[in-house]
């Protein structure tokens, strides 16, 4: 129960932080669409995708490994930090020059190359920030990464919107994103050193070990980034930046809604799974089942909402007629959210049980599948074809994840939960369709109420889960009350001593 209370507390903190960052990101996305337009937005999206595609080694190679190992042996934290930073700096110094050279070889326009140069520096800052985040997650100190993200997204959105209204361009926006990333990294680094210490121990043997053991993580990250970002590069080559802007506008909404796997699975559940995998198989399977139930309960209505209300959502966010082409792309991406949410959990299971080599095989299969379909569909269907390929790739990965997950950990009961949630989503879609001529701000709440009512009637979430969650929240609240009372008694006692 103590671990569950910590999970509930961390989840509440993360959800609060995500509400701020999600709102900030959404507002900035709206500003991009309204003030930059599809072509300029497309240039920014090409630059960020290009940098992400080439910057995979420093972004994807070590973070999950750090969280798993430090969660199991906390004393490793200072050594892992120092040596990981050295490795990331070495990778970045090589990759950054390669990015600039390749951008020139590919014939990108000067303004796109300048965006790539700025985004390349942001890549380094963000990578160092995720290193600190991974260590905080290992200690189950979720508050520091959450506050860092709030500072990054909130300040970037506030300043970005103000400058966009004053006529700022994409280069200014790229610099603002860099500044936000630096603030988050500095914040998280300060608190890590404050709580753990400033010990630096460069160990060549450890670096060699990190490189060797990170190969499966790195390979999976490499292939994963390629099949997630390759479609943007292919679109820019087969079409133009305007089409990329339509696709980027849809993908920006899609990316905004993948917050739950990152904050719930990556930040909260994964460290717990890493600890439970050390020998508590029964508790591990139970935790997996409850987490998958929660992810299904959240992801399926979100996907339903995107499919049903896509025209209204795009109209409200971007508010420009040219973004009408974004609607079918968003609808094609929507089912991929459900598969992505489930994949995040299955990926954590595979890594926490030290079967990460299987993920390399999964990513390789997905890469071939994704590349082949993109080459086939993009010339025919453009950005909508690229969006459909993303969803189909997530579906393929889900099938492979289930195949490679140890059989004794597969949560069979979650199939029944998923069926009930699907029925509730059907009720939600029917209500939203009947209200399709109404304002979006009427359709969305009505659909949400219909979904929650249908889910409650169908008992989509098992009663014992709700009871356990209620007990954990109540005990957390009582624990916080006791802590505050003790602090008050201590303060009164101290004041009495001072008076005396």
The answer to the question of residue 479 being in a domain is no
CB 283 within 8 A of CB 362: no
Dihedral sign (CA 376, 379, 381, 385): positive
Q: Which residues of the chain have pLDDT under 70?
A: 1-15, 18, 57, 59-61, 216-224, 227, 262-272, 274-275, 277-282, 356, 462-500
pLDDT at 446: 95
Instruction: Flag whether 443 is in a domain.
Output: no
Contact 181, 129 (CB under 8 A): yes
Establish if 64 belongs to a structural domain: yes
Do the Cβ atoms of 200 and 82 come closer than 8 Å? yes
pLDDT of residue 134: 87
**Tally of domains in the chain:** 1
* Position 496 in a domain: no
Assess if residue 294 is contained within a domain: yes
- Does the residue 463 lie in any domain? no
Check residue 475 and give its pLDDT. 52
Name which of 426, 432, 455 is nearest 310 in CA terms.
Answer: 432
Backbone torsion region of residue 240, taken as left when φ is above 0, otherwise alpha when ψ lies between -120 and 50, otherwise beta: beta
Read off the pLDDT of residues 266-305 as tens digits, 9 standing for 90 and up: 556 666 676 676 666 667 777 788 888 888 998 999 999 9
The rounded distance, in Å, linking the Cα atoms of 349 and 284 is: 9
The pTM assigned to this predicted structure is 0.69
Asked if residue 481 is part of any domain, the answer here is no
Task: Quote the pLDDT of residue 15.
Answer: 65
Alpha-carbon 18 to chain mean position: 11
Burial of 96 (0-12, 13-18, 19+ CB in 10 A): buried
Sign of CA dihedral 289, 295, 300, 303: negative
First vs last Cα of the chain: how many Å apart? Answer: 43
Chain centre to alpha carbon of residue 392: 19
Residue 446 domain-assigned (yes or no): no
What's the pLDDT at 492? Answer: 43
* Domain residue limits at 230: 2-198+205-411
Q: Each residue of 177-206: pLDDT tens digit?
A: 999 999 999 999 999 998 887 777 787 888
């Amino acid at each position: 129960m103590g671990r569950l209370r910590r999970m509930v507390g961390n989840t509440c903190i993360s959800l609060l932080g995500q509400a701020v960052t999600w709102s900030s990101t959404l507002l900035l996305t709206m500003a991009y669409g309204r003030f930059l337009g599809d072509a300029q937005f497309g240039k920014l999206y090409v630059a960020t995708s290009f940098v992400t595609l080439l910057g995979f080694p420093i972004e994807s190679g070590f973070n999950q490994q750090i969280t798993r190992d430090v969660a199991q042996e906390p004393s490793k934290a200072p050594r892992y930090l120092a040596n990981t930073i050295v490795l990331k700096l070495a990778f970045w110094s090589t990759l950054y020059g390669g990015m600039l050279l390749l951008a020139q070889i590919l014939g990108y326009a000067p303004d796109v190359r300048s965006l790539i140069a700025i985004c390349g520096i942001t890549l380094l800052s963000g990578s160092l920030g995720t290193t600190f985040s991974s260590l905080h997650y290992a200690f189950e100190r979720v508050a520091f990464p959450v506050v860092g993200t709030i500072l990054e997204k909130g300040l970037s959105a506030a300043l970005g919107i103000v400058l966009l209204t004053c006529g700022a361009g994409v280069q200014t926006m790229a610099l603002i994103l860099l500044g936000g990333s630096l603030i988050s990294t500095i914040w998280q680094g300060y608190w890590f050193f404050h709580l753990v210490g400033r010990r630096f121990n460069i160990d060549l043997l450890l670096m060699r070990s990190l490189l060797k053991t990170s190969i499966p993580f790195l390979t999976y990250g490499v292939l994963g980034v390629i099949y997630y970002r390759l479609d943007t590069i292919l679109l820019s080559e087969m079409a133009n930046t305007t089409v990329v802007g339509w696709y980027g506008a849809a993908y920006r909404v899609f990316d905004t809604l993948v917050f739950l796997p990152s904050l719930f699975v990556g930040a909260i559940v994964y460290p717990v799974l890493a600890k439970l995998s050390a020998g508590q198989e029964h508790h591990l399977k139970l935790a997996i089942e409850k987490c998958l139930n929660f992810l299904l309960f959240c992801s399926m209505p979100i996907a339903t909402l995107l499919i049903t209300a896509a025209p209204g959502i795009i109209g409200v966010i971007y508010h420009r007629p040219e973004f009408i082409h974004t609607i079918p792309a968003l609808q094609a991406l929507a089912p991929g959210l459900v598969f992505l949410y489930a994949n995040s959990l299955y990926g954590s299971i595979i890594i926490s049980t030290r079967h990460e080599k299987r993920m390399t095989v999964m990513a390789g299969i997905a890469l071939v599948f994704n590349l082949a379909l993109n080459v086939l569909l993009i010339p025919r269907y453009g950005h909508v074809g690229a969006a459909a390929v993303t969803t189909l790739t997530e579906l393929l990965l889900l099938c492979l994840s289930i195949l490679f997950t140890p059989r004794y950990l597969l949560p069979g009961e979650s199939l029944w939960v998923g069926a009930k949630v699907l029925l509730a989503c059907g009720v939600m879609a029917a209500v939203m369709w009947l209200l399709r001529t109404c304002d979006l701000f009427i359709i969305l709440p009505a659909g949400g109420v219909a979904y929650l009512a249908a889910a409650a009637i169908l008992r989509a979430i098992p009663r014992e889960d709700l009871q356990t969650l209620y007990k954990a929240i109540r005990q957390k609240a009582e624990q916080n009350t006791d802590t505050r009372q003790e602090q008050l008694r201590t303060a009164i006692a101290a004041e009495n001593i001072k008076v005396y």
